[in-house]
Chain A
Amino acid sequence: MRAPLSWLREYVDLPAEATGREVAEKLIAAGLEVETVERTGAGLTGPLVVGEVLAIEELTGFKKPIRYCRVDVGGAGGTGEPQNIICGARNFAAGDKVVVALPGAVLPGDFRISARKTYGRVSEGMICSAAELRLSEEHAGIIVLPPEYEPGTDAVALLEIEDEVLDIAVTPDRGYCLSLRGIARETATAYGLPLRDPALLDVPAPNDEGYPVTVGDPAACDRFTARTVSGLRPGARTPVWMQRRLEKAGMRTVSLPVDITNYVMLELGTPLHAYDRERLDGPLGVRRAEPGEKLTTLDGVQRALHPEDLLITDDSGPIGLAGVMGGAHSEVRDPEQDPETGEWRGTTEVVIEAAHFDAVTIARTARRHGMSTEGSRRWERGVDPEAAAAAAQRCVDLLVLLGGGTAGPGVTGVSAPAEPVTITLPADHPDRVAGVTYGREAVVRDLQEVGCEVHGTDVLTVTPPSWRPDLTDPNDLAEEVIRLQGYAALPSTLPRPPAGRGLTRRQRLHRRVGRALAGAGYVEALNYPFVSQDALARLGIEEGDPRRRTLRLANPLSDEEPELRTTLLPGLLAALRRNDGRGSHDLALFETGLVFRPTGQEPPAAVLPVTGRPTDEEIAGLDAALPRQPRRVAVVLAGAREQTGWWGGARPAGWADAVEAARTVAREAGAELEISADRHAPWHPGRCAALHTVVDGERTLVGHAGELHPRVIKALALPDRTCAMELELDLLERAGQGLVTAPRISAFPVATQDVALVVDAAVPAAEVAGALRSGAGELLESLRLFDVYTGEQVAAGQKSLAYALRFRAPDRTLTAEETGAARDAAVAAAAERTGAVLRGA
Chain B
Amino acid sequence: MSAPNKSYDPVEVEALKPEAIDRAREEALAAIAAAGDLPALREARIAHAGDRSPLALANREIGALPPHAKAEAGRRVGQARGAVGQALRTRQAELEAERDERVLAEEAVDVSLPYDRVPAGARHPLTTLMERIEDVFTAMGYEVAEGPEAEAEWFNFDALNISADHPARSESDTFFVAGTGAGGEGGAPGEGSGVVLRTHTSPVQIRSLLERELPVYVICPGRVYRTDELDATHTPVFHQVELLAVDQGLTMADLKGTLDHMVQSLFGEDLRTRLRPSFFPFTEPSAEMDMVCYACRGESVGNPDRPCRVCSSEGWIELGGCGMVNPRVLTACGVDPEKYSGFAFGFGIERMLMFRHNVEDMRDMVEADVRFTRPFGMEI
Contact = CB atoms under 8 A, between A and B. Distances in A.
A594 to B, nearest CB: 5
Contact of A645 (B114, B141, B324): B114
B275 to A, nearest CB: 4
A596 B149 CA distance: 9
B368 A528 contact: no
B82 interface: no
Interface string A124-150: 000000000000000000000000000
A359 B164 CA distance: 13
Given A29-B276, A610-B328, A626-B195, A500 B217 contact: yes
Given A172-B279, A525-B368, A552 B178 contact: yes
Nearest to A628: B148
B251 interface: yes
Interface string B146-174: 10111111110011010011110011000
Interface in B281-301: 284-288
B280 to A, nearest CB: 9
Contacts of B121: 517-524, 588, 590
Nearest to B287: A487
B257 interface: yes
Contact of B245 (A495, A582, A586, A643): A495
Contact of B188 (A492, A554, A575, A588): A554
A364 interface: yes
B237 interface: yes
A172 B167 contact: yes
Nearest to A557: B236
Interface string A601-641: 11011111011111000010011011101000000000001
Contact of A432 (B117, B251, B366): B251
A538 to B, nearest CB: 17
Most chain B beta-carbon neighbours within 10 Å: one of A171, A475, A607, A613: A475
Given A498-B217, A529-B237, A606-B194, A367 B170 contact: yes
Contacts of A627: 150, 180
B127 A524 contact: yes
A521 B175 CA distance: 35
B260 A492 contact: yes
A647 interface: yes
B150 A626 contact: yes
A550 interface: yes
A582 B368 CA distance: 11
A494 interface: yes
Interface in B12-65: none
B279 A602 contact: no
A785 B256 CA distance: 62
B367 interface: yes
A607 B154 contact: yes
B369 interface: yes
Nearest to A646: B113
B252 interface: yes
A499 B341 CA distance: 19
Contact of B366 (A364, A528, A593): A528
Contacts of A607: 153-154, 158, 164, 194
Dominant SS among interface residues on chain A: loop
Interface stretch (A64-72, A478-486, A683-691, A763-771): A478-486
Given A174-B279, A498-B215, A511-B131, A523 B373 contact: yes
A548 interface: yes
Interface stretch (B84-92, B96-104, B331-339): B331-339
A610 B193 contact: no
A482 B113 contact: no
Given A380-B167, A611-B331, A554 B256 contact: no
Interface string A503-540: 11011000100110111111111111100010000000
Contact of B194 (A521, A582, A625): A625
B119 interface: yes
Interface residues of B, number: 112
B177 A551 contact: yes
Nearest to A593: B223
Contacts of B200: none
A687 B380 CA distance: 38
A30 B279 CA distance: 12
B83 interface: no
Given A493-B257, A495-B258, A613-B334, A476 B193 contact: no
A33 interface: yes
A497 B127 contact: no
B70 interface: no
A587 B276 contact: no
A473 to B, nearest CB: 7
A579 interface: yes
Contacts of A432: 249, 251, 341
A302 B373 CA distance: 52
Nearest to B324: A433
Contact of B116 (A435, A475, A584, A643): A643
B149 A629 contact: yes
A579 B368 CA distance: 8
A497 B215 contact: yes
Contacts of A492: 253, 256-257, 260
Interface in B189-238: 189-195, 197, 210, 215, 217, 223, 227, 229, 236-237
A555 B215 contact: no
Nearest to B255: A490
B250 to A, nearest CB: 6
Nearest to B147: A629
Given A526-B126, A528-B236, A612-B334, A602 B180 contact: yes
Contacts of A795: none
Contacts of B189: 554-555
B352 interface: no
Contacts of A614: 210
A518 B3 CA distance: 82
Contacts of A590: 121
B166 to A, nearest CB: 8
Contact of A554 (B164, B190, B370, B371): B190
A519 B285 contact: no
B369 A579 contact: yes
Nearest to B110: A646
A601 B188 CA distance: 18
A436 B253 contact: yes
B179 A604 contact: yes
A433 B251 contact: yes
Contact of B285 (A363, A478, A646): A478
A529 B247 CA distance: 37
B257 to A, nearest CB: 4
B108 to A, nearest CB: 15
Contacts of A501: 143
A606 B260 contact: no
A606 B138 contact: no
A594 B197 CA distance: 12
A557 B236 CA distance: 8
Contacts of A488: 274-275
A31 interface: yes
Contacts of B184: 550-552, 562-563
B193 A604 contact: yes
A459 interface: no
A761 interface: no
B120 interface: yes
A433 B252 contact: yes
Q: Which 5 A-B pairs have the closest CB atoms?
A: A613-B334, A31-B277, A435-B251, A605-B194, A552-B184
Interface of B: 113-124, 126-127, 131, 134, 138, 140-144, 146, 148-155, 158-159, 161, 164-167, 170-171, 175-184, 186, 188-195, 197, 210, 215, 217, 223, 227, 229, 236-237, 245, 247, 249-254, 256-258, 260-261, 274-279, 284-288, 324, 326-328, 331-335, 341, 365-371, 373-374, 378
Given A359-B165, A507-B144, 10 more contacts: A29-B277, A490-B275, A492-B256, A494-B254, A495-B257, A517-B121, A524-B127, A526-B127, A554-B190, A596-B149
